[in-house]
Amino acid sequence: MLHAPSSTLAARAALALVGLTALAASPAQSPRRADADAHDPARELFAGRLVRIAVAVSEESKGRLRESPREYAPARVSIDGKDWPSAGIKLKGAAGSFREFDDRPGLTVDLDRFGEAAPFHGLAKFHLNNAVQDGTWLHEWLGAQVFLAAGYPAPRVAHAVLELDGRKLGLYVLREPFDRRLLDRAFGDGSGNLYDGGFCQDLDAELEKDSGAGVDDRSDLRALVEVCSVADDDVTGTRLAERVDVPALIDFVALESMLGHWDGYALNRNNYRVYLDPRDGRARFLPHGMDQLFGDAEASVLSHPPALVASAVLARPEWRKQYRARVRALVPVFAPERWRPRIRAMAERLEPALVEMGDDVRDAFRDAVRDLEERVAARHASLLAQSKAPEPRPLEFRGARPILVKGWKPAAETEEIALRRKGVDGVMAYELSCEARDDDAGSQVAAWRTTVLLARGRYRLLASIRTAGLRSGSRDDEGHENGGAFLAVDDARSERLLGDHRWTASRCEFEVGEFQREVELALRVRADDGIAWFRIDSLQLERMPD
């Protein structure tokens, strides 16, 4: 299914679907789009076909992939018996899914990387995900199907059995790339700038430009960030609507939240692409990395998202009302009776590949699929209840009394930092521990985070922090030290602690300019080595006098 123009997106996404068939009348598909569907060479592949892929690499290529896994190395790729001798492969995956070449790596395959070659079902490039965090091998497929069923674009998903360097690695998830073909299909014109969200980065970071004929200095992103950063401005809504496809953004956030895609853009500023449409300059988001869905049946779809663009849009009352309406309209898309038969049919199609991997793997797969069916049903019940629930109320303060802040969750932004609860000096604390490294990889970064819904006003986050041997050589673009242990809220920071400190009182003051906003509070560490502790019973929030 193709993405509708912004003028029809809201109407299309309101449809309740059986499989991918609309139960209500939808806007007529344009001749261009109908023709594109009929002649899509990848249509058969993404209809559920299981392919077999063998990748052969030379000793030189093995060495390159072990030394520089993110760079392409020459390879011979065979798909269902047809050879691509001039292909290239590189390793892929983030902190939770990356595996070395000699393990069970995820791969990006470029069939004509080192020579001219015909595509495979229209794909010159595709990704093979190892599904190490998904025992069903179905989450990415299901997430894409839900997005597409709601009329929103998403990379399509198939499955493959992989043999790498003679090793039978078994079932993989095959996903189409974010390329010009996908962008043309989704938006009608794929020549705009496409940015990769990277690892836990929002639009105010130095995002990598994947493709596009637009500016190369990120000025398009900076203009969007600037609009999103303005609070309590009468013209902010108009300016936002000029920079963001608001109906599409509302649907995107609703679908991510309803799927329980906690590691996506809206909830974690991770796993996304953002496209700047050259026809109107507005931003449109695409989902990515949906390998951990439906994990918490009761996950809130009513909490205000912390991500920059999502927060700016949903902080406005009129668009918040539209979001609530979209959640109600999209609940039928999640009806378990519509997905249960499709999940079972796909599982049956994949099971022969799991049998090849051993009886234990097959049995675990069957259990995981049954669990997924139950989680989909439980999630639908929760979504139905949440869609009828009243709006969340901002945190209420009684005079000058501070409130103890709870619900902190760990979030590592680099790979080699440990986060845990631990008793220190007879009290419980959140610990962030960095180990010294021999390489020049830079500082370790992590935080304990939570969010609170706050009304307009001035606030102060309080904490007691202890450090031991905390060392950092990190500096910002102006050369100022920016490492240490500190409190962070929006752009506000507390004093940074480095070295050795006994329990030290810290405070971070900030302001909410909107009528209400979900604010992310963070206990952050950026360091090369050492430990920091944040005393749990000291984590308080107080409202300052107006």
List, for residues 361-402, the tens digit of each pLDDT value.
999 999 999 999 999 999 999 999 999 999 888 999 988 899
Residue 163, pLDDT > 50, answer: yes
Mean pLDDT of 463-475: 91
- For the chain, percent of residues with pLDDT exceeding 70: 90
Compute the average pLDDT of residues 246-267: 96
Which range of 225-234, 235-244, 519-528 scores highest in mean pLDDT? It is 519-528
Q: What is the CA radius of gyration of the chain?
A: 24
Q: How confident is the model at residue 40 (pLDDT cuts 50, 70, 90)?
A: confident
14-43: average pLDDT: 44
Q: List domains and CATH numbers for the chain.
A: 45-175 (no CATH), 403-543 (2.60.120.260)
CA distance 485 to 498: 7
Alpha-carbon gap, residue 374 to 540, rounded angstroms: 38
- pLDDT bin (cut points 50, 70, 90) of residue 231 is low
Return the pLDDT at 41: 86
Q: How far apart are CA 494 and CA 509, in angstroms?
A: 8
pTM: 0.76
Q: What is the pLDDT of residue 237?
A: 83
**Tokens 């990848």 belong to which residue?**
42
CA 298 to CA 329: how far, in whole Å? 19
- pLDDT score of 12 more than 60: no
Nearest by Cα to 464 from 391, 538, 521, 409: 538
- Which is higher by pLDDT, 304 or 235? 304
User: Which pLDDT score is estimated for 334?
Assistant: 98
Strands 484-489 and 499-527: antiparallel
Q: Are 475 and 481 in contact (CB under 8 A)?
A: yes
Instruction: Give helix then strand counts, H and E, for the chain.
Output: 13, 23
Amino acid 15: pLDDT:
36
Q: Which residues contact 25 (CB under 8 A, 6 or more apart)?
A: none
- Rounded to whole angstroms, the Cα distance separating 254 from 331 reads 10
Contact 310, 274 (CB under 8 A): no
Q: Where are the beta strands (DSSP E) in 254-388?
A: 272-276, 283-287
Total residue length of the chain = 546
Cα angle vertex 434, ends 428, 439, to 5°? 175
pLDDT-based confidence at residue 43 (cuts at 50, 70, 90): confident
Exposure on the CB side of residue 36, measured as CA atoms within 13 A: 16
What's 481's DSSP letter?
B
What's the angle, vertex CA 56, arms to CA 62 and CA 61, rounded to 5? 25
Amino acid (1-letter code) at residue 325: A
374 or 29, greater pLDDT: 374
For residues 248-274, give the mean pLDDT.
96
CA–CA dist 365, 362 (Å, integer): 5
**Residue 236 has what pLDDT?**
67
Number of other residues whose CB lies within 10 A of the CB of residue 347: 20
Q: Is the pLDDT of residue 287 over 70?
A: yes
Task: Look at residue 30 in the predicted model and tell me its pLDDT.
Answer: 31
Checking if the pLDDT of 281 tops 90, the result is: yes
pLDDT reading at 479 higher than 70: no
Confidence of residue 101 (pLDDT cuts 50, 70, 90): very high
- CA–CA distance, 341 with 418 (Å, rounded to integer): 41
pLDDT in tens, 49-88: 899 999 999 999 999 999 999 999 999 999 999 999 999 9
pLDDT of residue 516: 77
Mean pLDDT value across residues 229-252: 83
Strands 409-412 and 125-129: unpaired
**pLDDT at residue 4, as a whole number:** 39
pLDDT number for residue 8: 39
pLDDT at 9: 41
Q: Does an H or E element contain 379, and which?
A: helix 359-388
**What's phi and psi for 76, nearest 5 deg?**
-100, 125
